[in-house]
Structure 1
């Protein structure tokens, strides 16, 4: 598997094309202001452009109809997904600059940034690995024995899909579509969703299904994808023990839990430029406030975006 990191695309190659002409014009004017009037560095400008564009696509409206609550809900959605508070705080600053720019240019909105809750940057447990740390962990996993092949596939899938550990351990053989590289995931509240995975897992899937799983299954019968060494359902505690050992051997100093994979998956896609709606759809986000904004996302666009941005792809 390739471990080369891909340079994130700028918003001009993705999100910006999906904005209405009016919103695109306001964003372009703001970017021009940052570049010409404030002399901001190129990387900072692209960061602002991506952050503002993501919000505008998350909540598309006529510019004068934006309200304080729109920004609050957006930032809360980012926190719910697991984006680090430092990143959420940066996005809040970007939005404040944008709406301040509109006000200075006599473009009225209903946004009052003083009423948007500030993001607390207090000490928090490291619940997200960097892309480099994730590669360090995954690439350190051996694949010599049936159990090792199973373990690596489980962890690769957690990072490739953003699934919860309960969802991973519930996958059956019938949920797999190896041709299209998608998995039917059974989430909370009997909700189902399809999630894609990277093509670099094809070989690992083949080894596990053809070699390792039959050995683990022994003479028993089971439709579950992942089995323990007795041919039975893998437990959460069983996976926890495997993960702790892998983290130790990979010399990762952070605290890593099964949910770390989910948070890292979301964070790496968001920081790479993927729109929040796409990430919510991949995660099976169940927030009442955000359900409506991603139900129309078609599978083809979701898969194409995933392949373009996932660091492991």
Structure 2
């Protein structure tokens, strides 16, 4: 790739950063564009044709996976096409090309990864299967409060204000902070875990001397609960039910977003609740029913 192309790729990466794309996208999208330029030995970006883009797309569909057997996934291929759409859109917008070669092109849409939210009866079964205040608190963190896995791992006792019914996410995805409102029931049941199981005997509040002492949720060893431990505990709860399908921490977060929309909360409010930066991210997580489409 020529020095000119290297410079263009760096400018494209800077453009993505300025728009607020996540770190993974800032890294991956320019890499996808570089793969396209290298594959076609392109020396003049202004002369890119639809035939070259089709040839690259065909190559992606035939290229074997480098780390496992089989072909590339539809999602991975679509990520490259998305990168080219953003890249050529940026070139056109900044006057570096006269016409966008990919703007009118159509490609096969990837089969979406179905993430069906839990039904209300399934959620009731999960809560009913809880045997300890900690297990109930776990479900509340991921469903009632919609936390991400890393957010729950980082959660400290000082981040939950039971009387005010507010849970603070100090550092969410993209270093985004937010306040999560809690119902009276959620606040009371999180406090029940804190008072009945979290506090050492004879102490009103643990002294925050170490990272583990600050943590809200502790594992069986008495240290800060990690993401894998959260997953295992959820699966233990689910094993006591007859749900009979895959369960995950993210399904709980996805489910509360869907249920909030179905109950009339606007997409903007759900975005703020989940801690998303853009509405597009919220629309990926939730399955909007027909009654909500007019509110987008």
TM-score by length of 1: 0.49
The number of residues matched between the two structures is: 171
What is the aligned counterpart of 2:129 among 126, 140, 143? 140
Deviations 1:199-245 (A, max 9, x none): 11243233222220124999985111011122211011111111111
Counterpart of 2:134 in structure 1 is: 150
Counterpart Cα distance in 2 of 1:138 and 1:289: 31
Task: Report the secondary structure of 1:278's partner residue.
Answer: helix
Distance 1:178 1:194, change over 3 A: same
Gaps of 5+ in 2: 1-103, 283-296
Counterpart of 1:199 in structure 2 is: 184
Deviation for aligned residue 1:190? 1.6
| Structure showing greater relative contact order (alpha-carbon pairs closer than 8 Å, 6 or more residues apart) | 1
Counterpart Cα distance in 2 of 1:165 and 1:176: 17
Gaps of 5+ in 1: 1-114, 143-147, 292-313
Counterpart of 1:254 in structure 2 is: 245
Distance 1:290 1:166, change over 3 A: closer
Instruction: Say whether residues 1:227 and 2:218 are aligned partners.
Output: yes
Counterpart of 2:259 in structure 1 is: 268
Counterpart Cα distance in 2 of 1:175 and 1:124: 33
Q: Is the 8 A contact 2:271 2:278 kept in 1?
A: no
Distance 1:123 1:194, change over 3 A: closer
Instruction: Say whether residues 1:182 and 2:173 are aligned partners.
Output: no
TM-score by length of 2: 0.51
Counterpart Cα distance in 2 of 1:129 and 1:170: 25
Distance 1:271 1:213, change over 3 A: same
Aligned-residue RMSD, C-alpha: 3.2
The higher radius of gyration belongs to: 2
